[in-house]
Amino acid sequence: MTEPRTIRWGILATGGIALTSTRDLLTDPTTRGVTNLRHTVVAAASSSSQSKAESFLRTVNAPPSAKPYGSYADLIADPSVDIVYIATPHSHHYTNALLALRGGKHVLCEKALTVNAAQARHLVETARERGVLLMEAVWTRYFPLTAYVREVIQSGRLGPVTRVLADCSVATEPHTSFPDGAHRMVNPALAGGALLDMGIYSLTWVFTALWRAGTGQTPPRVVSAMAHYGPTGADEMCTVVVVFPRAQDAGGDAHGIATTSMRVDTDPGGRGSAPSVRIQGPKGEVQVFPPTYRPTKTRVVLLDGTVEEKDWAQPGPGIGSKWFNGFGGPTNAEGEGHGMFWEADEAARCVIEGRKEGALEGWDESVLIMEVMDEVRKQGGLVYPEEIERVE
């Protein structure tokens, strides 16, 4: 048997999701049946101070040899780093990813990939030129649950998917949670707002059903409505209709309705009683239950009376922690992992196999989703500061 290859990660930024993700990354892959690769963390960098990076490495229980850096550039210059995980606010993804790609590093970058499609296209060109991996960290795409949903769609059991309803909303009470407007969720200088932060998950489900697994490959038309958060002008609620043109004999046009909000909740009280995603065809539907970004339950309901429910607990061992995202968030049960290791496994496989894009969200799709979000922002009058919209 060949020895598993160890992928050496550098963690760029030390905030909430960096902590959650790195803990998952350091979970033994054999606990989820993955035997051909391993992950290790060889360095972490904080733009604030080296001591913050040191404390981060201690908190996640990284190997004692892992190096703490007080600047992102130093992390990129470290030859022992194979791949960089970027966990900064949306506003910074483009410049951070550009730095890493130009430094010859593979990149797994948090969602949304960039602020706009032009920046995403530039990152793709750079990754192509440098011959390195660029992957958007939309973790939900890589869950076994999501693979199952794709199989249900591709099996034809629903007939041609005709409509997708997907909501990803977290009632964060912006006025009390973020009173000074500085938090990344509502701060335009950090490209904050519901669309780029959570709407991307609703769009991910729409695209999973109608783009990757679907039959139509013509980019969709977009119609949208947006509400703004008064004090800062960030978007706090968005409703997006995407129409995928499709020939009549392939089922006719398909509609995706993607919603997101910081004012109301997909699942008030976290009871998980109603689906947050419904993928519908003439013969029935597949339902995905909230939270939309980390679902653990599906149900297939067909016109012929079939009802199939499945539970998809994340494998452990996990620390049963409250998800640390600055304003609360879901808790994974004691013994359960969070689920961010699936995307890390795919990124590692890309590095090992020499693939430059993830298997479940290629460059074309990341760019297309950014184009859809550009159009939503245009229709909703959401403009970010020029400094963070710029392309070099």
Ligand X SMILES: O=C1OC[C@@H](O)[C@H](O)[C@H]1O
Least Å distance, CB 38 to ligand NDP, is 22
Shortest separation between residue 218's beta carbon and ligand NDP, angstroms:
29
170 binds, among ligand NDP, ligand X, none (CB under 5 to 8 A by kind): ligand X
Among 69, 85, 139, 142, binds ligand NDP (CB under 6 A): 139
146 contacts ligand NDP (rule: CB under 6 A): no
- For the bound state, the minimum distance from the C-beta of residue 73 to ligand NDP, rounded and expressed in Å, comes to 12
- In eight-state DSSP terms, residue 178 is S
Comparing CB distances to ligand X, the nearer of 170 and 254 is 170
Instruction: Tell me the one-letter amino acid at 226.
Output: M
Give yes or no for a contact between 382 and 228, defined as CB atoms under 8 angstroms apart. yes
Q: Which residues bind ligand X (CB under 6 A)?
A: 170, 197-198, 293, 325, 329
**Dist CA 331 CA 388 (whole Å):** 32
Neighbours of 116 (CB within 10 A): 22
The contact mask relative to ligand NDP for 25-64 (x = CB under 6 A, - = no) is: ---------------------xxx---x------------
- E strand residue ranges, the chain: 5-12, 37-45, 67-69, 83-86, 106-110, 134-137, 163-169, 221-228, 235-244, 254-261, 277-281, 284-288, 297-302, 307-311
Q: Which residue is nearest to ligand NDP (CB)?
A: 15
From the CB of 168, what's the least distance to ligand X, in Å?
8
Strand, helix or coil for residue 114 = coil
Q: How far is the CB of 373 from ligand NDP (least distance, A)?
A: 13
CB contact set of 141 (below 8 Å; sequence gap of 6+)? 204, 208, 343, 358, 360, 361
Q: Which does 316 bind (CB under 5 to 8 A by kind): ligand NDP, ligand X, none?
A: none
Question: Shortest distance, CB of residue 271 to ligand NDP, whole angstroms?
Answer: 21
The binding track of 89-108 with respect to ligand NDP, each residue x by CB under 6 A or -, is xx-x----------------
| Residues between 197 and 226 that touch ligand NDP (CB under 6 A) | 197
The residues in 285-324 that bind ligand NDP, with binding defined as CB under 6 A, are 293
Closest approach, Cβ 328 to ligand X, in A, equals 8
What Å distances lie between residue 35 and 39, 244, 349, CA to CA? Answer: 11, 39, 12
Contact 203, 219 (CB under 8 A): no
326 binds, options ligand NDP, ligand X, none, Cβ within 5 to 8 A by partner type: ligand NDP
Burial class (CB in 10 A: 0-12, 13-18, 19+), 300: buried
Name the β-bridge partners of 137. Answer: 110
Task: Give yes or no for a contact between 194 and 262, defined as CB atoms under 8 angstroms apart.
Answer: yes
Tell me whether residue 13 or residue 132 sits nearer to ligand NDP (CB atom): 13
Indicate the residue among 5 and 322 with the shorter CB distance to ligand NDP.
322
Q: Would you say 201 or 211 has its CB closer to ligand X?
A: 201
- Residues 109/119, Cβ–Cβ less than 8 Å: no
Q: Which residue has the tokens 């470290």?
A: 78
- Cβ proximity to ligand NDP: between 4 and 144 the closer is 144
Which of ligand X, ligand NDP, none lies near 246, with the C-beta cut-off 5 to 8 A by kind? none
Measured from the CB atom, the residue of 111 and 130 that comes closer to ligand NDP is 111
d(CA 186, CA 189): 9
| Site residues for ligand NDP per CB under 6 A | 13-18, 46-48, 52, 87-90, 92, 110-111, 139, 184, 190, 197, 293, 325-326
